[in-house]
């Protein structure tokens, strides 16, 4: 039990545990102190100086995000000196910021814009030399526009501390300081895995995904193309946020309606191939155990994680499940089975995947994801891009009626839905593996692998054997798990890894929530709640029981891991070290 500290904030008594910062404590007094560089669990360096407050008896102003509370402290957050300082700081920041707000992807969702408005700033008071930087478009996933960067370092902290990638860092010093890749050769030349966590950490429009919206519109308006959309499990849990709906709203029905309103397109449920992945993966795991192939087996549905292994631990490639990700499986199913069945030339089929992820843009373009020169998936767009298409089409999203996914790929299990949260793939796999190995085992909920903590371990007794599993989200945590495995400190049979902390609900392609949401609420858990609710409310909860999966095997793929399944649903990896 931590010692409790009593202080007043604007004369309101507040009692908080020792070690709490003034910024956190102020929330108790119903005051949200504005900030730019502070981001809970990510960045706490006191550098932007927007969160300054007065502490009675202390000279100057202090940064509330890093200043711990003290017994009897008197804090004032709204004095003339504080307001003036914040205003001047914002004016200074704006004087170097490329104020292209009208066309900025973060227009109306920009923390700097909001502060400028709240503080009634004078845009031109400190007008002067503005540094000019080339926009870095060198990766297929992330675009960096330093002309808008405010040097809050939230992206750097994310990339270096949370993800341990270190693709970017600070360069030079003083007024010339900026963020970029070493030797400024572009993100594409680094070990960047395209996870996009930097994007969702950015308070302004300095980071965004490389947009593929125009290509999608072109395909939709091309009379020779049949366009198919499918949506990843977590999209329905977050898309509503782009339309100002509360975090944690399930908008699956509205989402399908909206996509169908974009043009003559079919909308399928990617959860279906999540089920397919589970069946293939569970089968692969059983095979690995029985044929003494490398263990533990790592999941392979996260493309950021795959690139992480390829860049940093190529020696672990044999431990990666050879299963394609649900996105790529879906593409493969559509361009083979579906085309064959409906007499469509795969060249005329345009497959759009809607995903919570920026790394998937890289995945669609991988050599391994082409079959006879035809890509499994033509384009992957993020939740944010989909919302922009919907807005661009003038669709009033919030008032839409619900529509079901198109057949034949509509139905999916609850196991597939929870793919979007960390531990979800593991739980889905355990449901199927337990049942396949021991027909009497009907266990559905594996609570130990749920929750938003970065590393979770569990041991389950399946068919008379103890099965040790591990779930990690965030690449820094992945690195920790790998190091523990490599040093022999830990032994697991099966390990699930998601590049983004909390899994796909918190993906780099998800709606960007401002710091005031991220700092004060449990964003990841609230979003994941949507998926777990969908799972518990549905009847079908195990992947292998999905009747469409059965049909797929019966009509086309024969059996998990068999020749056709192996050729189309599995893949290989390459060292990028």
Partner 1 sequence: MGMTIEKLNEIQAKNRELVMVRKLIAEKSEEMAAHSKYRKQILVCGGTGCTSSGCQKVAAAFEAEIKEKKINDVLIVKTGCFGLCALGPIVIVYPEGAFYSQATPEGAKRIIDEHILGGKICKDLLYPETVHEDGEILPLSETKFYKKQMRIALKNCGVINPENIEEYIALDGYRALYKVVTSMSQDDVIDLMLASGLRGRGGAGFPTGKKWAFAKASKDEIKYVCCNADEGDPGAFMDRSILEGDPHALLEAMAIAGYTIGAKQGFIYVRAEYPIAVERLKIAIAQARKYGFLGRNIFGTGFEFDVEIRLGAGAFVCGEETALMTSIEGKRGEPRPRPPFPAVKGLFGKPTVLNNVETYANIAQIILNGAEWYSSIGTATSKGTKVFALGGKITNVGLVEVPMGTTLREIIEEIGGGIPGGKKFKAAQTGGPSGGCIPACHIDIPIDYEGLSQIGSMMGSGGLIIMDEDTCMVDIAKFYLEFTCDESCGKCSPCRIGTRRLLQLLDKITSGHGEMEDLEKIEDLSSHMGVSCLCALGQTASNPVVSTLRYFREEYVEHILEKKCAAKKCKDLVRYNVDPIKCRGCTLCARNCPAGAINGAIKQAHVIDHEKCIKCGLCLNNCKFGAIIKD
Partner 2 sequence: MATETKSTFRGTPKQERELKKVIEKYKKIPGGLMPVLQEAQAIYGYLPVEVQKIIADGMGIHLSEVYGVATFYSQFSLTPKGEHIISVCLGTACYVKGADKILEAIEEELGIKSGECTADGMFSIEACRCLGACGLAPVMTVDGEVYGKCTPESAVEIIRSYMDKED
Binding site for partner 1 (CB under 8 A): 45-50, 52, 60-61, 63, 66-68, 81, 84-85, 88-89, 92-93, 95-96, 125-126, 128-129, 150-151, 170, 172-177
Largest CA distance in the chain: 79
- The binder of 124, among partner 1, partner 2, none, by C-beta within 5 to 8 A per type, is none
Distance, in Å, from the CA atom of 147 to the CA atom of 135, rounded to the nearest integer, reads 8
| Residue 160 binding result from partner 2, partner 1, none, given CB thresholds of 5 to 8 Å by partner type | partner 2
Q: Which partner in partner 1, partner 2, none is near 425 (CB below 5 to 8 A by kind)? A: none
Q: Which two tokens stand for residue 562?
A: 């068999």
The dihedral through the CA atoms of 257, 258, 260, 266 has a sign that is: negative
One of 109, 116, 158, 181 touching partner 2 (CB under 8 A): 181
Minimum CB distance to partner 2 smaller for 308 or for 557: 308
Nearer to partner 1, 50 or 192 (CB): 50
Catalytic residue among 301, 339, 357, 470: 301
- Residue 100, SS3 per DSSP: coil
Choose, from 363, 385, 427, 496, the residue flagged as catalytic. Answer: 363
182 lies in the site for partner 2, by CB under 8 A: yes
Name the residue with tokens 């795991």. Answer: 285
Distance CA 423, CA 276 (A): 17
Of the pair 73, 434, the CB lying nearest partner 1 is at: 73
Is residue 284 part of the annotated active site? The answer reads yes
- Which range of residues in 178-186, 398-406, 413-421, 422-430 is near partner 2 by CB under 8 A? 178-186
The least CB distance from residue 323 to partner 2, in Å, is: 31
Q: Where are the beta strands (DSSP E) in 488-527?
A: 494-498
Active site includes 209? no
Query: Among partner 1, partner 2, none, what binds residue 129 when CB lies within 5 to 8 Å by partner kind?
Result: partner 1
CB of 25 or CB of 143, closer to partner 1:
25
Q: How far is the CB of 168 from partner 2 (least distance, A)?
A: 6
Give me the count of residues in the chain: 577
E strand map for 111-177? 142-144, 169-171
DSSP helix/strand/coil, 427: helix
Residue 89 near which of partner 2, partner 1, none (CB within 5-8 Å, type-dependent):
partner 1
Active-site hit among 281, 385, 427, 496? 281
CA distance 327 to 565: 15
Q: What is the distance of C-alpha 233 from the center of its chain?
A: 12
Is 301 assigned a catalytic role?
yes
x/- mask, partner 2, residues 138-177, rule CB under 8 A, reads: ----------------------x----xxxxxxxxx--x-
CA angle 327, 328, 332 (to 5 degrees): 125
Tell me the closest approach of the beta carbon of residue 142 to partner 2, in angstroms. Answer: 15
Closer Cβ to partner 2, 185 or 459, answer by number: 185
State in angstroms the smallest separation of the CB of 92 from partner 1: 4
CB 326 within 8 A of CB 360: no
Distance (Å, whole) CA 562 – CA 496: 24
- Which residues within the stretch 187-206 sit at the binding site for partner 2 (CB under 8 A)? 190
Contact 559/565 with Cβ under 8 angstroms?
Answer: yes
CB of residue 29 to partner 1, shortest distance in Å: 21
**Residue 391 CB neighbours (<10 A):** 14
> Total residues contacting partner 2 (rule CB under 8 A)?
16
Residue indicated by tokens 């990896």: 573
Q: Which residue has 């599995």 as its token pair?
A: 570
Question: What 3 state SS string does 19-76 have?
Answer: CCEHHHHHHHCCCCCCCCCCECCCECCCCCCCCEEEECCCCCCEECCCCECCCCCEEE
Which one is catalytic: 284, 385, 427, 496? 284
Half-sphere exposure of 369 (CA within 13 A, CB side): 23
Q: Which of 504, 524, 542, 543 is catalytic?
A: 504
Alpha helix segments (H runs only) across 80-191? 80-96, 111-118, 154-157
**Alpha carbon distance 469, 219 (integer Å):** 43
Task: Report the 10 Å Cβ neighbour count for 106.
Answer: 22
Q: Which is nearer to partner 2, 189 or 453 (CB)?
A: 189
Residue 49 touches which of partner 1, partner 2, none (CB < 5 to 8 A by kind)? partner 1
Regarding 131 and contact with partner 2 (CB under 8 A), the answer is no
b/e code 513-524 from CB counts within 10 Å (16+ = b): bebeebbeeebb
**Active-site hit among 266, 368, 457, 545:** 368
Distance from C-alpha of 545 to C-alpha of 537, rounded to nearest angstrom: 16
Taking the least distance from each CB to partner 2, the nearer of 190 and 510 is 190
Whether residue 241 contacts residue 511, with contact meaning beta carbons closer than 8 Å, is answered with yes
Pick the closer one to partner 2 by CB: 3 or 172: 172
Q: Which of 226, 360, 361, 456 is catalytic?
A: 360
Which sequence positions are flagged as catalytic?
281, 284, 301, 321, 360, 363, 368, 504
Q: Which residues bind partner 2 (CB under 8 A)?
A: 160, 165-173, 176, 181-184, 190
């Amino acid at each position: 039990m931590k010692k409790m500290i009593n202080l007043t904030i604007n004369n309101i008594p507040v009692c908080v545990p020792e070690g709490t910062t003034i910024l956190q404590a102020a929330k108790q007094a119903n005051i949200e102190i504005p900030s730019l560089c502070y981001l809970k669990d990510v960045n706490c360096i006191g550098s932007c100086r927007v969160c300054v407050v007065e502490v009675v008896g202390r000279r100057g102003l202090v940064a509330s995000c890093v200043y711990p509370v003290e017994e009897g402290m008197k804090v004032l957050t709204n004095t003339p000196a504080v307001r003036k300082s914040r205003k001047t700081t914002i004016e200074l920041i704006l004087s170097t910021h490329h104020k292209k707000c009208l066309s900025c992807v973060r227009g109306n969702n920009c923390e700097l814009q909001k502060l400028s408005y709240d503080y009634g700033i004078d845009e031109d008071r400190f007008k002067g030399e503005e540094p000019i930087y080339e926009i870095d478009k060198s990766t297929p996933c992330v675009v960096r526009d330093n002309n808008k960067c405010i040097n809050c370092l939230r992206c750097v902290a994310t990339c270096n501390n949370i993800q341990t990638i270190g693709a970017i860092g600070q360069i030079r010093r003083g007024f010339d300081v900026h963020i970029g890749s070493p030797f400024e050769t572009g993100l594409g030349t680094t070990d960047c895995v395209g996870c996009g966590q930097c994007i969702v950490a950015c308070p302004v429009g300095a980071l965004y995904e490389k947009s593929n919206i125009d290509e999608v519109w072109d395909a939709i308006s091309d009379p020779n193309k049949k366009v198919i959309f499918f949506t990843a499990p977590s999209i329905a849990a977050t898309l509503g946020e782009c339309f100002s709906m509360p975090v944690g709203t399930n908008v699956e029905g509205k989402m399908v309606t909206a996509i169908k309103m974009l043009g003559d397109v079919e909308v399928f449920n990617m959860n279906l191939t999540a089920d397919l992945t589970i069946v293939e993966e569970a089968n692969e795991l059983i095979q690995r155990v029985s044929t003494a192939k490398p263990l533990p087996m790592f999941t392979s549905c996260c493309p950021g994680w795959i690139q992480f292994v390829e860049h940093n631990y190529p020696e672990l490639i044999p431990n990666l499940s050879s299963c394609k990700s649900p996105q790529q499986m879906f593409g493969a199913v559509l361009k083979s089975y579906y085309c064959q069945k409906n007499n469509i030339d795969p060249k005329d089929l345009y497959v759009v995947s809607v995903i919570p992820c920026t790394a998937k843009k890289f995945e669609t373009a991988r050599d391994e994801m082409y079959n006879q020169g035809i890509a499994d998936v033509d384009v992957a767009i993020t939740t944010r891009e989909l919302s922009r298409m919907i807005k661009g089409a003038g669709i009033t999203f919030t008032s839409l009626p619900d529509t079901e996914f198109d057949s034949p790929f509509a139905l999916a299990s609850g196991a597939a839905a929870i793919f979007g949260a960390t531990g979800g793939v593991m739980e889905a796999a355990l449901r199927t593996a337990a049942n396949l190995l021991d027909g009497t085992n009907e266990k559905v909920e594996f609570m130990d692998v749920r929750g938003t903590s970065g590393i979770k371990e569990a041991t389950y007794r399946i068919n008379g054997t103890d099965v040790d599993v591990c779930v990690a989200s965030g690449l820094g945590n992945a690195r920790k798990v790998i190091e523990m495995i490599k040093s022999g400190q830990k032994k697991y049979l099966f390990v699930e890894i998601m590049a983004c902390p909390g899994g796909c609900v918190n993906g780099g392609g998800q709606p960007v929530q401002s710091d005031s949401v991220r700092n004060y609420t449990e964003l990841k858990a609230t979003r994941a709640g949507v998926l777990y609710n969908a799972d518990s409310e549905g009847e079908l909860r195990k992947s292998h029981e999905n009747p469409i999966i059965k049909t797929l095997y019966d009509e086309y793929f024969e059996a998990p891991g068999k020749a056709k399944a192996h050729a189309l649903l599995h893949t290989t990896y390459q060292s990028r070290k």
